[in-house]
Amino acid sequence: MITKQELVDGIRFAGQRAAAAARNTKDWDHQLGHQWTSGDAFRHIAATAGGASGLYPLLDAGVLSGIGADRIAQGNAAAIATLTEKPKDEVVQAIIDGHNTSADFVATLDEADLAKVVKLGGYEMEKAEIVAQVWIHHAIAHAYEASARWPIT
């Protein structure tokens, strides 16, 4: 299992890497392979970056497993829309600030609670690993998707 310190460091790292990808992506209007643009993906990262303190208590409650994909998509669209008029530099800063806020929250958590195995949809793993999925893997995956331009010619 990922340790608390690795988790804290990883969340900060993911925020920095996602922010770097956002800074270096020239065309934020680039259409991705679904309904989002590159800018939408970075706005989504910014909107979710600081949410660890709100989501973490719900991991024990089981309520998250009952939220369907349509409801998640609606929430994502609404969150992206709130950041559409924000300049790029503000979105980038929100990615960094949000990840730092989530890392600060995770630093306060109990190691034994982080090690508790919970079920969340298709996941059955330690809470720390679910947090890593959401605040490390998720941010980096969207940042890569938003910034990669293949093929390189």
Query: pTM to 2 decimals?
Result: 0.92
Q: What pLDDT digit, counting tens, does each position of 88-136 carry?
A: 999 999 999 999 999 999 999 999 999 999 988 777 899 999 999 999 9
Give the pLDDT band (50/70/90) at residue 85: very high
CA distance 109 to 120: 19
For Cα atoms 140, 7, 118, give the angle at the middle one, nearest 5 degrees. 95
Amino acid 66: pLDDT: 67
Distance of CA 125 to the CA centre of its chain: 18
Give the per-residue pLDDT at 84.
95
pLDDT for 150 equals 73
Positions of E strands within the chain: 117-120, 123-126
Provide the pLDDT confidence category of residue 65 given band limits of 50, 70 and 90.
low
Cα–Cα distance, 7 to 60 (Å, whole number): 19
Residue 151 in this model has a pLDDT that exceeds 80: no
Please report the DSSP string for 90-106 in residue order: HHHHHHHHHHHHHHHHH
What's the whole-number average pLDDT of the chain?
92
Of 19, 20, 41, which Cα lies nearest the Cα of 30? 41
